[in-house]
Amino acid sequence: MNEKRRCECSLIFLFIPCVFLVGCIEELELERLDTNDFDDVLVVEAVLTNEMKKQRVLLSRATNRLDIITDTIYDPATPINYNKGVGVDTEENASVMILDELGNKFDFEEVVSGTYMSLQPFQAELGKNYHLEITTKDGEQYISNEMSIAGISQITDLYAERIINDLGEEGMSIYINSEEVQGDSQFYRYTYEESYKIIAPNWAPMDFKLSNYEPCALPVPTYDLEIIPREEEERVCYNTVDSNTIIQNSTVELSENKVLRFPIRFINRNDYILTYRYSILAKQFVQSAPAYSYYNRLEKFSQTGSLFSQIQPGLLNGNIVNKNDLGDNVLGYFEVASVTERRLFFNYEDFFPNEPLPPYVFNCDNLLSAPESHVSFCFSGLSMNSCPQSVIERVNMDLISYVSDNDIGLGACPGPHIFTPNICGDCTTLGSNVVPEFWIEE
């Protein structure tokens, strides 16, 4: 039986020379550079899909830093990296457009720094060629190769199974099945968005409210500390996280373009995201052979993470060039792909009935107490206070949540209140208290 190819990796650029061939896919040329040439390189992230929507193009600049993970904007459909905008040098005030083979032009506008959205919703159509054109504020013109949808495939099933993986870890594996609908669907890339319920283990219906706090007042700090009902939902929250890996699959060696039981995600049973209810939205992109090759080579670069601190000359070229200067290097790829998606929900107890829940992300077993106040910050004498940081200091820094009155004398320096770190008593430290629109319970 032929095995399906699967590639998965952490998403980081490493500039080292490599050679990778997949079947008869044409290898993209890897141009060698001096490291100084990498400074100020334009980074383009763009996937035009067959979804009727406002399409998006992200533009930024790479800089000559050791770690360029932080130098691009993150788009889960074009996973160049996984840091969402930290340290990004965005490319502003550019002119961006996509044109089809008939000359139809779709203009984009900059909605936030470096993010360009089409003025009108549109979609890529099977059988049409498209290319991307960019003019920067400095007048440099960039153009992509003409690209088209290779084929259309439909996800027919998305399901989860309790397994023990090849590393001996027990957990949940998420699988995809899909079938070709039109065209030639041989190359696939997957992304996902996972959401999960969070319940703060030490939540209490009351909380601290600090006002009129003067830590430097003499002879002692002045303040008003109240215990009041919580004003917002802080017990049950939800968090959503985008995938940060390249996941690819090919049916080239199979007798038909059908994907069966392809694993896109494994979650260890002790991962707290599984504790209550979990959902995953999986997306399957049908790629062209050149796009598949590009992402395959990007995956090979990232596999050499141990060499990350030793950036070597070399750059992964895509399909975008400077119209007037072919030596001007560009990072990124303009892809035209069909996409299909499907969502799955399950509870931990569906697969692990009557078994212990995964441990919380933080150890919340130990409740705390401390004196309510502290020595004035402006006290100039000798202080002999050896007690932990006071309640009002911690409340002022939003570090703790109220649990109860300290009627049992808890703590080495007992105060009037028992409290817990915010991560244990306030779920909004880990997620949002707004229920996602797509969320459904059992």
pLDDT digits (tens, 9 = 90+) for 173-214: 999 999 999 999 999 999 999 999 999 999 999 999 999 999
Residue 384, C-beta contacts closer than 8 angstroms, at least 6 positions apart? none
Cis peptide before 436 (omega within 30 of 0): no
What's CA 99's distance to the chain center, in Å? 30
First-to-final CA distance of the chain: 38
Please identify which residue in the block is written with the tokens 């996602």. Answer: 436
Residue 292, C-beta contacts closer than 8 angstroms, at least 6 positions apart? 22, 25, 187, 189, 248, 250
Q: What is the pLDDT of residue 313?
A: 33
Q: What is the pLDDT of residue 217?
A: 95
Q: What is the pLDDT of residue 88?
A: 65
Domain segments of the chain: what residues? 5-197+239-351, 202-234+367-429
What are the two backbone dihedrals, phi and then psi, of residue 63, each rounded to the nearest 5 degrees? -125, 165
Q: What is the pLDDT of residue 381?
A: 77
Q: For the chain, which residues score pLDDT lower than 50?
A: 1-35, 65-86, 305-314
What's CA 84's distance to the chain center, in Å? 7
Provide the b/e sequence for 62-74 (b: ≥16 CB within 10 Å): beeeeebbbbbbb
Helix (H, G, I), strand (E, B) or coil at 348: helix
For the entire predicted model, the pTM comes to 0.82
Q: What is the pLDDT of residue 62?
A: 78
Q: What is the pLDDT of residue 91?
A: 95
Give kind and range of the element (H or E) at residue 285.
Answer: strand 277-287
CA distance 237 to 242: 17
* Contact assessment for residue 237 and residue 431, using Cβ atoms and an 8 Å cutoff: yes
Whole-number Cα distances in Å, 96 to 91, 218, 310, 319: 11, 61, 35, 16
pLDDT digits (tens, 9 = 90+) for 240-265: 999 999 999 999 999 999 999 999 99
- Beta strand 320-322 with 115-118 is unpaired
Helix (H, G, I), strand (E, B) or coil at 69: helix
CA distance 147 to 46: 12
